[in-house]
Structure 1
Amino acid sequence: MPSCQTGATLSNGHDQATDEKVARLLEMLRQVKDFRADRGKVYDLHFVLAVALIATLAGATGYRQIGRRAADLPQGLLTQLGAPYDHFSGAHATPSESTIREVLTNVDADLLDLVTCAWIHECATRDQSGDLVIALDGKVLRGAWTDENKQVKLFAAMTHAEGTVVAQTLVPDDTNEITQVDNLVKNLRHTRGRTIATADAAHTQFRTAILLRKRGIDYVLTVKGNQPKLHQDIFRRCLPLLQETPEHEEEERSHGRVRRWSIWTTDATGFRFPFARTIAIIRREEFDLEGNRTTKEYAFIVSSLRGERATPAAIHTHVRLHWGIENRLHYIRDTAWREDACHASRGNGPRNLATIRNLALGLLRLHGVRKIKETLEHIAADRQRALHYLAT
């Protein structure tokens, strides 16, 4: 995993290299246009966003906690962030909760997403070779409601390898995430022909496959009952394969269970689905420790991949890692930052708070952090520790 200072020791001090790397993050945040008039403005927009980010790295879940943690930031850290100096108090000043709330409620959410996701994407893939594989999925912010009394829903793309969000968009109230695929990937920085998107069965649509391929993105999609003809055709083609030895098998033991995956693939010649090149069937079985099978199910897959990029092992890896977006993104935002319990609802607030959480999570992942909640608590005990994670 590409990372700078992955094994670095945390310190309350800082050096020139850290200063330069923090400056790059601040420079990225400067790209977000300030909506406020110059008159009466005390804090630069990029400074307010940086303060919100550090407070989020310290575990803040909403405006009130961000304001409280911002008030406790050490003077040395505020100096590095470019905080204004208050000559009356003899200290660097920090924005209040109301200022932070105003900024996150009104700042351009599309631009904030675009800037932060592009920066994290560049940091995560700067030393990467081969395919970029991303998982597409939506998440409802259960505590946030729109003016039309509907829940806010976001649609995001997360990298399989690093677990970082590289694109995010809002799903309008009058539609669903299926219609937002093009809007999501249009700003994604990728290499044509070297990017693969995975998605659940809801996205197994002709239009989605065509949109992805037009942008040079291959797909690996699950087929279920929402495409009955395709599902039936794949079942008939794959049924004879089940009589043969699996082309690839994997087994895993955990929590007193044994899980086994068996995979077969074949070409998609004759299938009426845009740009389909390979179809696959995955048999998932679960056994107890005595070898008794407790569950068995099948998954049917259609993909535009072929050749060496569509081996049974590769298809299985793409399908299995797709569900990491639930565990590595949605679950983390819910448990570490209690996102579903956050009732921010005005303006762009719900989406911008989610974007700040995505950025914080991305910074932690770039440094190889696995225990997210424990790390947030570690930073909360000494906000100066956030510097290690701001430096990428």
Structure 2
Amino acid sequence: MPSCQPAPGMSTAPFDPERCDISSLLTMLGRVPDPRDPRGRIFSLSFVLAVTLVATLTGAKCLRELGSRIADLPQPLLVRLGAPFDHFHGIFRAPSEKTVRLLLKTIDVDALDLAFGAWLFAQATRAWGEQLAIAIDGKILRGAWSGENTQVRLLSAMLQGKGVVVAQVRVPDDTNEITQVADLVGKLPETLGRPAVTLDAVHTQHDTTDVVVKAGMDYVLTIKGNQPTLERQTFERILPLLQEPPHHEAEERGHGRIKKWRTWATNADGIDFPHAATAGVIRRDEFDLQGARVSREHALILTSAPGGRATAAYLHTHIRGHWGIENEIHYTRDTAWREDANPTYTGNTNHTLASFRNLAIGVIRLNQIRRIKETLEYIAADRYRALPLLVTACNGPTR
């Protein structure tokens, strides 16, 4: 089958964009509610959102850079994204920075997150028979202030193993992320089977576990000192296990260190916590290359998954996978787009920019590419390179 992928040595020479079918992406973008007045509207919503995504894929970090990168998009690429033709000047038009700025400020960002998340989820899980695991974690946009002493906070859900965000909500200024788990879970796309939802210790709350279990999913929680009675009960339950050989072991070598994980699991008898079925502990030892131990840590785990499913390997995989949301999403947005240094604060703009960065990371990862920053630099050198990524994400072979 012919491919629309440009040749590896190609710079900005035109190729045939009509062979690149990005209709799935454009259809999804067109379903987002349009906040603009229909009178005098020049550009379709899907087109403005599409060029914003492409500019984000070039590494544009702020509204000024978005406007500049959009203005530089070549004519054939604008045509493929849905640009209108300006008969007076004889060219296809691109939206101005002012147009993009106003749209990102006023758009229904909750609807935007729903559309992005559902589309990425559909692409990531096509014919994927593995048991799903979803990591939930919050992030503060440190450069974005919604008040004199209040920073913008977002709570996100990421597919473990895929590194794509499938749901996101804004945490209201007068509350914390614990109260928003129910809203986030309610916005997750419908899934098959019984996915695992991993959360850090701050979410070890009765209401949170009820929300997750009632949604047809299993929680996997880390237990720490914010719940001292629960921590003590869990520790007493797993303490005898530490005298046994580990039920699961894993080892990694890198960066001048040897890391070993040993995991034990048992039933949660005697632990007073809603829906708790299995308790476990993960011991993490770190050694230098000569074999001298540098550190040792223990993590106490509770899950609603029963023992037949919640093996020691299950606990190890899901707890380690949970921290992927920090490394693969939050850290990536900070390093590739300098998100924490962005002082944007008007309207929904800061949240909207984060949503576009999630979508950009998603389409890159769906193409089995892990080096996000290098990919943004690659696309910035040749804007045509963004188009095949969108095609492969939408229409690539079924896994």
TM-score, normalized by the shorter chain, greater than 0.5: yes
Q: Deviations over 1:126-181 (max 9, x none)?
A: 12113210100000001111146410000000010110000000000011111001
CA distance in 1 between counterparts of 2:7 and 2:303 reads 44
SS at match of 1:103: helix
Asked whether the 8 Å contact 1:6–1:367 carries over to 2, the reply is: no
| Cross-structure match for 1:338 | 338
Structure 2 CA distance for partners of 1:16 and 1:83, relative to 1, 3 Å: closer
Supply the AA of the counterpart residue of 1:319: I
Asked whether the 8 Å contact 2:264–2:282 carries over to 1, the reply is: yes
Supply the AA of the counterpart residue of 1:350: N
Q: Deviations over 1:202-225 (max 9, x none)?
A: 011111001100111101000000
| Cross-structure match for 1:137 | 137
The root-mean-square deviation of aligned C-alpha atoms, in Å, is: 1.6
CA distance in 1 between counterparts of 2:267 and 2:16 reads 56
Number of equivalenced pairs:
386
CA distance in 1 between counterparts of 2:176 and 2:89 reads 51
Shift of 1:45: 1.4
CA distance in 1 between counterparts of 2:31 and 2:173 reads 28
Structure 2 CA distance for partners of 1:245 and 1:123, relative to 1, 3 Å: same
User: When the two structures are superposed, what TM-score results if normalisation uses the length of structure 1?
Assistant: 0.95
Shift of 1:351: 0.6
CA distance in 1 between counterparts of 2:321 and 2:116 reads 24
CA distance in 2 between counterparts of 1:182 and 1:356 reads 23
Q: Deviations over 1:36-88 (max 9, x none)?
A: 11112111111111111000001101100000000110100001111011122
Structure 2 CA distance for partners of 1:14 and 1:102, relative to 1, 3 Å: same
Correspondence 1:233 to 2:233: yes
Gaps of 5+ in 1: none
CA distance in 1 between counterparts of 2:181 and 2:82 reads 38
CA distance in 1 between counterparts of 2:324 and 2:122 reads 21
RCO (CA 8 Å, sep 6+): is it higher in 1 or 2? 1
SS at match of 2:20: helix
Equivalent residues in 2 for 1:312-391 (5 A)? 312-391=312-391
Structure 2 CA distance for partners of 1:39 and 1:370, relative to 1, 3 Å: same
| Cross-structure match for 1:282 | 282
Supply the AA of the counterpart residue of 2:236: R
CA distance in 2 between counterparts of 1:265 and 1:46 reads 49
Asked whether the 8 Å contact 1:107–1:348 carries over to 2, the reply is: yes
Asked whether the 8 Å contact 2:196–2:218 carries over to 1, the reply is: yes
Equivalent residues in 2 for 1:200-219 (5 A)? 200-219=200-219
Gaps of 5+ in 2: 395-399
User: When the two structures are superposed, what TM-score results if normalisation uses the length of structure 2?
Assistant: 0.94
CA distance in 2 between counterparts of 1:332 and 1:9 reads 28
| Cross-structure match for 2:20 | 18
Structure 2 CA distance for partners of 1:253 and 1:75, relative to 1, 3 Å: same
Equivalent residues in 2 for 1:86-235 (5 A)? 86-147=86-147, 149-191=149-191, 193-235=193-235
Shift of 1:230: 0.9
Supply the AA of the counterpart residue of 2:340: D
CA distance in 2 between counterparts of 1:320 and 1:308 reads 20
Report the more deviating stretch, 159-168 or 184-193: 184-193
Supply the AA of the counterpart residue of 2:131: D
Report the more deviating stretch, 9-18 or 203-212: 9-18
CA distance in 1 between counterparts of 2:197 and 2:333 reads 22
Shift of 1:8: 8.7
Structure 2 CA distance for partners of 1:255 and 1:6, relative to 1, 3 Å: farther
Q: Deviations over 1:222-273 (max 9, x none)?
A: 0000111110011111111111111111111111111111111110122211
CA distance in 1 between counterparts of 2:192 and 2:204 reads 21
> Which stretches of structure 1, 4 residues or more, deviate above 3 A after TM superposition?
5-12, 14-17
Shift of 1:307: 3.4
CA distance in 2 between counterparts of 1:188 and 1:34 reads 23
Asked whether the 8 Å contact 1:192–1:217 carries over to 2, the reply is: no
Asked whether the 8 Å contact 2:266–2:307 carries over to 1, the reply is: no
Supply the AA of the counterpart residue of 2:179: T
